[in-house]
């Protein structure tokens, strides 16, 4: 099972020094990937319920620093050689589809084919309002974004005619190094999300606190994975072609080491460890990651 972690992009830890140090740690200790979340601006007052906490409260300080993900992963690409670079997740409607498709293609080229395109439709209505983007139409727009990206990344002369975007007579190069395109994973839950994954994506990102506790429609990771598998097979798609990535909201190395084998047993393909939401000390995060790497017998460069 692959294992990565969230970069320190929030709050007091969101510094040049900490980002560089964590990228180097990922390479030297053998972590598969590092990941960036997405906020452009943060409302100072949030009434929208956060979908990934039991209380509905946002788990990071909304008035703290929030580094931008495209810029951050581009910086990390220049600091590293082998670790994969992922979004967990970019909110597709926040940016023009052609612009974000171009940025991801460029990032894949400049990182020598290391991008994982984690995509979501977002949850924070106040941020949509600030950006002048429709919250109600976010999933419909996200589906068009994915279709446009694939067109830009694979076609000689891309063209698209949809409800929100319409273009032709263009070319968009360089196209990504990864063929046919960087892997696309969709974050979300429920049957509508699973249908989008089956139709458009290479994987699913789900937030969990443990193997038996997922923020999904069933509230149970095993049941949710079974539902996704069934929908894929009913659509004539091999469910083995869909990766499951569990974003683990955790604060201890012991918890990760205890749960690792169970995640592997139930068929999770990748873990993303989310420590920065709970920690404000990069040294503490480093100690946790080193303990995990040692406990799992990981080896890096």
Would you state the structure tokens that stand for residue 11, as one six-digit string? 């709050």
The verdict on residue 301 lying in a domain is no
The verdict on residue 205 lying in a domain is yes
The verdict on residue 300 lying in a domain is no
Contact between 1 and 264 under an 8 Å Cβ cutoff? The reply is yes
CA distance 25 to 18: 10
pLDDT tens digits along 175-230: 999 999 999 999 998 899 999 999 999 999 999 989 988 887 777 899 999 999 99
| Tokens 């590092």 sit on residue | 34
User: What are residue 48's phi and psi, to 5 degrees?
Assistant: -65, 135
Contact between 108 and 54 under an 8 Å Cβ cutoff? The reply is no
- Asked if residue 174 has a cis previous peptide bond (ω within 30° of 0), the answer is yes
CA distance 13 to 279: 8
pLDDT tens digits along 91-144: 999 999 999 999 999 999 999 999 999 999 999 999 999 999 999 999 999 999
The verdict on residue 92 lying in a domain is yes
Contact between 263 and 253 under an 8 Å Cβ cutoff? The reply is no
Closest CA to 141 of 97, 99, 204: 97
pLDDT of residue 59: 75
Residue 251 has pLDDT above 80, yes or no: no
Question: CATH number of the domain that 34 lies in?
Answer: 3.20.20.30
Q: For 126-151, b where at least 16 C-beta lie within 10 A, e where not — what string?
A: bbbeeeebebeebbebbbbbbbbbbb
CB count within 10 Å of CB 212 equals 13
Domain that holds residue 190: 2-295
CA dist 172 → 107, 146, 147 (Å): 14, 15, 15
Q: How many domains does the chain have?
A: 1
The verdict on residue 235 lying in a domain is yes
The verdict on residue 52 lying in a domain is yes
CA distance 62 to 60: 6
Widest pairwise Cα distance in the chain: 55
pLDDT tens digits along 17-61: 999 999 999 999 999 999 999 999 999 989 999 888 888 888 777
pTM over 0.85: yes
User: What are residue 162's phi and psi, to 5 degrees?
Assistant: -130, -165
pLDDT of residue 169: 96
The verdict on residue 134 lying in a domain is yes
The mean pLDDT value for 292-297 works out to 96
- Eight-class DSSP state of 50: P
The mean pLDDT value for 258-264 works out to 96
- Asked if residue 180 has a cis previous peptide bond (ω within 30° of 0), the answer is yes
pLDDT of residue 178: 98
The verdict on residue 258 lying in a domain is yes
Contacts 24+ apart (CB under 8 A), 264-267: 264/1, 266/211, 266/221, 266/222, 266/225, 267/225
């Amino acid at each position: 099972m692959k294992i990565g972690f969230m970069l320190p992009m929030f709050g007091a830890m969101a510094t040049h020094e900490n980002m560089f140090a964590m990228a180097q740690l990922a390479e030297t200790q053998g972590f598969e990937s590092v990941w960036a979340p997405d906020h452009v601006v943060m409302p100072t007052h949030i009434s929208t319920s956060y979908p990934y906490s039991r209380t509905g409260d946002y788990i990071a300080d909304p008035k703290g620093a929030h580094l931008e993900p495209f810029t951050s992963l581009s910086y990390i690409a220049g600091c590293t050689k082998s670790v994969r670079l992922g979004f967990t997740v970019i909110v597709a409607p926040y940016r023009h589809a052609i612009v974000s498709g171009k940025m991801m293609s460029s990032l894949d080229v400049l990182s020598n084919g290391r991008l994982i395109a984690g995509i979501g439709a977002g949850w924070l209505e106040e941020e949509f309002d600030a950006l002048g983007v429709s919250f109600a139409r976010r999933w419909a727009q996200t589906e068009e974004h994915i279709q446009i990206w694939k067109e830009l990344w694979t076609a000689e002369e891309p063209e698209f005619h949809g409800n929100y975007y319409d273009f032709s007579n263009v070319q968009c190069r360089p196209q990504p190094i990864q063929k046919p395109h960087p892997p696309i994973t969709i974050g979300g839950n429920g049957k509508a999300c699973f249908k989008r994954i089956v139709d458009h994506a290479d994987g699913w990102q789900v937030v969990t606190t443990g193997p038996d506790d997922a923020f999904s429609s069933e509230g149970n990771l095993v049941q949710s994975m079974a539902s996704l598998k069934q929908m894929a097979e009913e659509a004539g798609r091999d469910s083995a072609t869909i990766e499951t990535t569990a974003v683990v909201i955790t604060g201890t190395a012991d918890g990760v080491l205890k749960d690792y084998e169970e995640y592997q047993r139930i068929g999770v393909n990748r873990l993303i460890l989310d420590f920065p939401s709970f920690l404000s000390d990069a040294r503490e995060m480093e100690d946790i990651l080193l303990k995990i790497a040692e406990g799992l017998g990981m080896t890096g460069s």
